[in-house]
Structure 1
């Protein structure tokens, strides 16, 4: 892609002028909503594909929960005036939390934050943790949404990924969870080596027969320093086939559309009224606090991330210090993030909002960069916004990259 703005007849704003106008604009700031993300860094065993921060030893679980509460208390004034609309327990495996540990976290949250009456409160759970007793305890808590990490309903897939549950547990956990929760999402993974189109279709069929309102579906990716990467390099597992993953994605989108699901973000499908409020807030630029080791935070102007080491996290919080690094976002960063996140959604990228947030020069740059993709049918303009077309959805990240601004400081316009 070209890194230059289209030529202008008038002198463009300087970087400083753009920064001042953006930061003073109401559209450059998020509203009064806030998300809380709580990272629970423990798992029973390591999935072969996972590169998230976790430990398979739970010896420090109680101590770490104490420090999660301490961090929540220390950061309560970080985003003043915000009402918490979503609380998300991610990981790791949050369903490993005991009832008293969940209660401890909720007591701390509700004592230190203003939580909306109808806040969406999600807990990620693994099928093997969802016994009837566990579900009764979760139902009695403030949790009102479950995200169940099924990944596949077939044993061969689960074995390849080294999941802790089996195919029977995957199915039975959902059937049981439906007796306690209405708002349930499950994760499914496609593009798994040796997963045929027929098996993927069957996965979708089983999921639909369960009558769930939301699915999060991801292509299997090979991350560095994972067991999956090592096994592929050694020839133990076949490489991931991008063409097969693309075919699986197309089957997924067509099947779920017929079933009445809205494809509201690249990896997420929901029935009306069941979109993930937590993730939608991320994609639309709302602020959030990330609590726990490796958790990230965003306030509209900067990003912050905690150390990804349980011991260092605990020791630092015991001394009253939050072990985090921060990065101030430039206007270029904000523009690129806006394009990246919004293009993945059903709402698309608004050139007018780009103009209001960043200035006319950014809008014209966006439209210039979009021209080729519009001509090739990869992008379309609908209701004033840029959207990825159906045939190009699997390429959306690459298209977004073509709309990015590479270098703002050295522009000659």
Structure 2
């Protein structure tokens, strides 16, 4: 089943490390919601005859929207698309937004999953990141959500930053486990250009991140959560059995999805559509009844390389039989040939027609995938 992603470009504060498209001004929030609904209507035939199995509100911080705005967007989707009765409907939230009142309001919507941007359970780390919440709110909002009936929760954690000792990282992981979170997303801090963090490092005001620290903490994470019953089903994602994120898993499996909102990407199974990453231009375009998007036509080689990149990141691995069926025998034979050195040095292993990363190989996932790419003719 297909998915719908809605990008909500509003945040209370700018995190030091973030390079996603967002604004801290909510001046045109109502106009943005109207534009998003117009885009949904204009794209109502994009997923014709396909049922919607997941809806994902990302951003930005969707939880800053009033509940009535979320309801308006969901009602527009429901009017123009066929939504599965058991569809996963996720909203990204920040802990400080999940008050008892907000949770009770969202509970009345068809939203059935929270993705909570916790990042850390230590105050000093949250201040360093310029997060809007504190450590008490980080744990309280999880318990509050569970008490209200939201059992399908995931939280984000970040590792590999200078303040995070291994002991603190162990505490963050253990806290997530003790809070009975069924799904965890954990990301190594990367220094993105043009962010406040990148600027501070360039000026010598902050130390750079350490690859060795990130690698050590990545392995700590894998060991700890897998020994507690979690499956490491994608490089940055861990869940209890069968608690995988439906929406994100569909990305990695190449399932079509609509991208709605400024900067959002969509994929129809053949080509990618990319919305303008400018709020004013996005709204102006839709006010004229025009879609604010550009088409990225994907060649066979592009699609193969994307399959290599996404499949290798997952526990399901790269299926050579699928490669041969979808792309041809030459692609499959070349992939087997290029994978051999990595199998020999213990970074990949092969089970029947499936190639997977070893734990050692997971440290080099992107680099290994790039070595298996085919070249565009």
Structure 2 length-normalised TM = 0.99
1:214 match = 183
Cα distance between partner residues in 2 of 1:394 and 1:178: 34
2:54 match = 86
Cα distance between partner residues in 1 of 2:145 and 2:352: 40
Pick the aligned partner of 2:201 from 207, 232, 252.
Answer: 232
Unaligned 5+ residue runs, structure 2? none
Say which SS state the counterpart of residue 66 (structure 1) adopts: helix
1:268-318 deviations in Å (ceiling 9; x for gaps):
001112100000000000001000000000012111110111111111101
Pick the aligned partner of 2:245 from 266, 276, 279.
Answer: 276
Cα distance between partner residues in 2 of 1:155 and 1:241: 22
Cα distance between partner residues in 2 of 1:249 and 1:375: 23
Pick the aligned partner of 2:75 from 107, 122, 146.
Answer: 107
Cα distance between partner residues in 1 of 2:225 and 2:193: 32
2:102 match = 134
What does 1:210-359 correspond to in 2, within 5 Å? 210-359=179-328
1:125-151 deviations in Å (ceiling 9; x for gaps):
000001000000111111000000000
Q: CA deviation at 1:383?
A: 4.1
Say which SS state the counterpart of residue 363 (structure 2) adopts: helix
User: Does 1:36 pair with 2:4?
Assistant: yes
Cα distance between partner residues in 2 of 1:263 and 1:314: 40
Say which SS state the counterpart of residue 13 (structure 2) adopts: coil
Q: CA deviation at 1:395?
A: 0.9
Q: CA deviation at 1:194?
A: 2.7
Higher relative contact order (CA 8 A, sep 6+): 1
Unaligned 5+ residue runs, structure 1? 1-32
1:36-58 deviations in Å (ceiling 9; x for gaps):
00000000010010000011000
Structure 1 length-normalised TM = 0.90
Cα distance between partner residues in 1 of 2:359 and 2:196: 34
Contact 1:288 1:298 in 2 (8 A): yes
Aligned length: 376
Q: CA deviation at 1:88?
A: 0.1
Q: CA deviation at 1:66?
A: 0.6
2:14 match = 46
Cα distance between partner residues in 2 of 1:88 and 1:265: 18
User: Does 1:391 pair with 2:356?
Assistant: no
Q: CA RMSD in A?
A: 0.8
2:119 match = 151
Contact 1:34 1:82 in 2 (8 A): yes
- Answer with 140-149 or 192-201: which moved more: 192-201
User: Does 1:73 pair with 2:41?
Assistant: yes
